[in-house]
Amino acid sequence: MSEEIVKGRELLEAGDVGGLIRHLRFTAEGLPVVEVARLLEGAAGLSGFDDLREASGAVVREPASPQALYDFGYACIERGVPELGVPALREALELTGGAPPVLRELAAALERAERHREAVEVLQAHDAALEPWPDRYLLALNALLAGGLEIADRELAALPAPPDDGFAWAHGRLRRMVGRARAAHGAGPMDERDLRGWHFALTGGLLGEISPYGYDEGMVGRYAYTQVSPGSCVRGLLRLRAVLEATGARPRSVSLLPERSSHILGLVAARVLGLPAAPFRPDAAAETVVVAFDLNDADDDSLRALHDRAPGQVLYEHATCWTDPPAVSADMSGLLHQVAVTPWGERMRMVREGEPETVPADDRPAETIAQEIAQAGPETGDEVAPGGTDADLARFAAAVAGHWLAGPRDRCPYTGPVRSSRFM
């Protein structure tokens, strides 16, 4: 019995389901599928996931059954662990001689696991059997997400009209992504380090800051954890102002979302942009900048109202979570983070003895905090990442302006070709 299996059983016996899943994410590809299924059967039982428990148990009983393997892979996708279903779906594909339903499910699992190159490879290996929908759509999408703009462009151009409304939405999203990628390709290298270019292609949003911290050590412009400073807030809004100037956008007001952090930042934005501020109203949301600190904290009514843009409306989000993207994609993001702490929230700081201490949240009125932040001025640092200057941002924004502020603000669950290290 391998050390990986022993370790997995120890985690299961300890009831550490999270630890077991993390362990399997790194080891499942090298383990017999039946052993992965046996471990997941126990984990699913502890978690109350009856569908995954039953599918896992079927593989334990019949490890050579294509149907059991397929059902197991499907259940893994549905429960948010697609990478654990990939080996089972590969076996099912081989056992069925490349059955199209299994091929599609394997491509879907690889897509959800953000293993887009592998999805392209497995689809291209069965090229002669691919149907336009959904097979070649999946090929085009995963090629784009892997950085293969030429393949995506070619496959998209060959796609016939989608057969139903569900595919029509997917087709429209893909067309917008490819169109933005073409525009961004004229403004930058669009390689595996062009974070701003790919962020625009996939989300439709402009990225203000390319973080220099850990840039060459796996972060490539994103943050894992950051305590946002007042200066960071001001710097992001000044870059928003520069983007508005570079693209010719002319909002007439700032709209304040009700959530406290967004309300504070909106008041700061009104001062920085020199515009009047008022509470956000969906029926009066044209020609305004809607300001959010983190859209994952916004209320559902606001998010529904922001999905389809009003004329001349700009949605700014200072701290966009790239590992758990919000329900709507902002037109501009100040920075990308996995975990971000607001300047006015509870924070950690180091004291003289080198020990951390907790600083309580600032409960003063929003107007008082906003005034202090606006007066603080932008934060500047000695380090600058490639493409990280204000001039770089302005040039990029001007180059892609014709594709900016267009179409719905669809959620983008993909990281794309530019990969960054993350907390598990």
Strand partners, 291: 256, 316
Q: What is the mean pLDDT of the chain?
A: 96
Res. 140 pLDDT band, cuts 50 70 90: very high
Range from 190-204, 205-219, 258-272, 350-364 carrying the lowest mean pLDDT: 350-364
Q: What is the per-residue DSSP string for 297-331?
A: GS-HHHHHHHHSPPTT-EEEEEEEESSS--SS--S
Give pLDDT tens digits for 158-171: 999 999 888 999 99
Give pLDDT tens digits for 23-44: 999 999 999 999 999 999 999 9
The predicted pLDDT at position 357 comes to: 85
Q: Are 49 and 79 in contact (CB under 8 A)?
A: yes
Length of the chain: 424
Give pLDDT tens digits for 333-382: 999 999 999 999 998 776 666 678 888 999 999 999 999 999 988 877 77
Select from 1.25.40.10, 3.30.70.980, 2.60.120.460, 3.40.50.300 the CATH code of 3-182: 1.25.40.10
What are the structural domain ranges in the chain?
3-182, 191-403
What CATH number belongs to 191-403? 3.40.50
Q: What percent of the chain has pLDDT over 70?
A: 98
Question: What is the rounded distance in angstroms from the CA atom of residue 321 to the CA atom of residue 380?
Answer: 22
The predicted pLDDT at position 355 comes to: 74
Give pLDDT tens digits for 382-420: 789 999 999 999 999 999 999 999 999 999 999 999 999
Strand partners, 278: 255
Range 112-138 average pLDDT = 97
Question: What is the rounded distance in angstroms from the CA atom of residue 423 to the CA atom of residue 407?
Answer: 32
Checking if the pLDDT of 306 tops 80, the result is yes
Res. 21 pLDDT band, cuts 50 70 90: very high
Helix (H, G, I), strand (E, B) or coil at 154: helix
> Tokens 């490879």 map to which residue?
121
The predicted pLDDT at position 354 comes to: 67
Checking if the pLDDT of 424 tops 90, the result is no
The predicted pLDDT at position 382 comes to: 73
Range 46-67 average pLDDT = 98
Helix (H, G, I), strand (E, B) or coil at 371: helix
The predicted pLDDT at position 166 comes to: 84
Count CB atoms within 10 A of the CB of residue 360: 8
Range 140-149 average pLDDT = 98
Residues contacting 307, CB < 8 A, separation 6+: 327, 328, 408, 409, 410
Omega before 134 within 30 of 0, i.e. cis: yes
The predicted pLDDT at position 14 comes to: 97
pTM: 0.95
